Amino acid sequence: MSYNDALNSLSSFLFCVRSFNSDPYLPSQEFIGKYIFLSSVLQNVKGNSVNVNWELNKGINCLNALFNFHISYLLNKSNILQNNLLMPLKSRVLNVVSRFDFNIWKVKINNIVSYRHNLMYMELINSKSSIENLMYKFLLSVPINRFEIILNGERYWNGIVNGRYKNTLLADIGVIYRAKRIEYSLSLTNIFNYNCYSYSFSKAR
């Protein structure tokens, strides 16, 4: 189902997919001490899923802007082999992404907010595990005569446990000079000097 209004720069669509599948490989996991061993075994497994997506796009003429909102939900039912026991497995994945881009006096600003939540549940042993991530990305471009200053970055709030989050800010800055036929650029990346960063953290209970 879709809706479009060209005069107001508005569009939206919604779709839902129901699917049934069969896979010759069965996922397997074994708990040995403090370690989890993941693998696949040659065994036919059947599953089914429901996928729902909705998207909205809106133009704003006075700001020379575009707003986009997208949400998707996936419910999947299958099986997993855990410690040599076949167990039903349910997984739910929620994705929400919002984007707002606009220009003011030749200054370009892009904003993206993304949220993801992945829940896996094994009913027979009442076990749940989840991954949660919230992200904000931004870009600022400021032209000054022949120069252009560009600042972009990413901010993450990743769930750890009991409402606690790991916060991280990544940022880059650059300057571009444009002559008639030559372009010069100077950039400083990874301003906060992060050596590595994990985008998500799994928790189980």
- Summarised one tens digit per residue, pLDDT across range 20-48 is 988 888 888 887 877 778 888 888 888 89
The model's pTM: 0.76
From the number of C-beta atoms within 10 Å of its C-beta (0-12, 13-18, 19+), residue 89 rates as: buried
Alpha carbon distance 41, 39 (integer Å): 7
Give the pLDDT confidence score for residue 114 in this predicted structure.
Answer: 95
pLDDT digits (tens, 9 = 90+) for 148-201: 999 999 988 877 665 666 788 889 999 999 988 899 999 998 887 766 555 444
